[in-house]
Homo-oligomer: A and B are copies of this chain.
Amino acid sequence: MNLEDIAEKAGVSRSTVSRVINNERYVSEKVRQRVLQVIAEENFRPNPAARTLVTRRSGIIGTAIPQTTNVFFGDNSYYPMLLQGVAEAVNQRDYALLLYLAEEQEERENFAERVVRQRHADGLILSSVIEGDPLFTYLLKHDRRFVIVETPPHHEERVSYVTVDNVAAAEMAVNHLIAIGRRRIAKITGQINIMDAVERLEGYQNALRAHGLPVDPNLIVYGRFHRDAGYEGMKQLLPHQPDAVFAGGDTIALGVLDALTEAGLCVPEDVALVGFDDLDVAERAQLTTINHSVQYVGSRAATLLMDLIEGRLEHPQHIVLPTRLVIRRSTVGS
């Protein structure tokens, strides 16, 4: 069943059917109705491949998640939330969402190759880009449309991105800890090759310096965005007796909580704790954190990408979304 068949049944030409389907002007109301009726009767849907072939547009947005299994699910609802946001925006404009998920232990090279080989998508949303990321490098070099959902490596300004002001947010978090009287404030970072982690560390250091506090290397642990890393990191910090911890992400903070509980320390009396992201779990754990709606980042990124694809906006675009400090019991008690 194709346009020609519908045309015949409706007694018009293929061109007219195409016009009706694409909702173009210059079709008389009578003809439009007749065609619509035949389409409904035959339950006809135009072949997207044929359409794509000529328009050079598939209406598909790809989202690449280069992280392995244990990061994608588990406690970490970051990616699901991001995806939900992307899906929302994409649905609204009747695009489709293609998901590229890395295998456990898959090399970035291999992942990049896989994503690039299939040319289904009109554009890509990239997450967790690291320094020297092959996918990032390739896309940049070959001038394909894409949007990064964090600050790109080296603040590369030639690419479009949607991010939050991590530096300012981290400053806000640490200022809060200082305001409640903490002085030995420790930091556990996410993967330090991801810009989010770098910027949050930067903000932490800024805030300390601004208050004339020392930046003690013993109080900084380089970790990963993972609960286990928080747990291990905290164990490492304990001998140095911090009175507060600023975790690079909520999942890290959860691990910190595990370690503190195990050590018999009270939050916030002995150690105050601040996370980052305000994931679903943060509220449940009564965690003070930085809120920045991951979902909204996803939907803004998708909207931006579609605008770039459709030529409504010029490349590149930079969007920095606001953050908010959410104060809960992990810093102010009950």
- A residues neighboring B (CB under 8 Å): 43, 45, 47-50, 52-53, 58-60, 69, 72-75, 77, 79-81, 83-84, 87-88, 91, 94, 96-101, 103, 114, 116-120, 142, 280-281, 284, 295
Q: How far is the CB of A99 from chain B (nearest CB, A)?
A: 5
Given contacts A84-B73, A280-B74, A280-B75, contact A96 B98 (CB under 8 A): yes
CB proximity of A165 to chain B, nearest CB, Å: 24
Residues of chain B lying within 8 A (CB to CB) of residue A142 = 43
Contact of A101 among B45, B47, B50, B87 (CB under 8 A): B87
Q: Are B103 and A91 in contact (CB under 8 A)?
A: yes
Q: B120 near A60 (CB under 8 angstroms)?
A: yes
3 closest A-B pairs by beta carbon, nearest first, are A49-B52, A73-B80, A87-B101
CB distance from A135 to the nearest CB of B (A): 15
Set of chain B residues within 8 Å of A295, measured between Cβ atoms = 69
With a CB–CB cut-off of 8 A, which chain B residues contact A83? 72, 99, 101
C-alpha gap A45/B60 in the complex (Å): 17
Given contacts A48-B119, A49-B52, A96-B98, 15 further A-B contacts (CB under 8 A): A43-B142, A45-B116, A47-B119, A48-B118, A49-B58, A50-B53, A53-B53, A72-B80, A73-B84, A79-B80, A84-B101, A87-B101, A91-B101, A97-B98, A99-B99
27 contacts between A and B (CB under 8 A): A43-B142, A45-B117, A45-B119, A47-B119, A48-B119, A49-B49, A60-B98, A60-B120, A69-B295, A73-B77, A73-B80, A73-B81, A73-B84, A74-B77, A74-B280, A75-B280, A79-B80, A83-B99, A83-B101, A84-B101, A87-B101, A94-B117, A94-B118, A97-B99, A97-B101, A98-B99, A99-B99
Q: How far is the CA of A328 from the CA of B98 in the complex (A)?
A: 38
Interface centre among A45, A59, A91, A295, by most B CB within 10 Å?
A91
Identify which of A52, A81, A100, A284 gathers the most chain B CB atoms within 10 Å of its CB.
A52
Q: Is B98 in contact with A84, judged by CB distance below 8 angstroms?
A: no
CB neighbours (8 Å) of A75 from chain B are 280-281, 284
Chain B positions within 8 Å of A96 at CB level:
98, 100, 118, 120
Contact flag A47-B53 (CB < 8 Å), given A87-B101, A96-B118 = yes
Residues of B within 8 A of A118 (CB): 48, 59, 94, 96
* Most chain B CB within a 10 A radius of its CB, from A43, A74, A79, A84: A84
Beta-carbon nearest neighbor of A74 in chain B = B280
Q: How far is the CB of A128 from chain B (nearest CB, A)?
A: 15
Given contacts A49-B52, A53-B47, A120-B48, contact A84 B99 (CB under 8 A): no
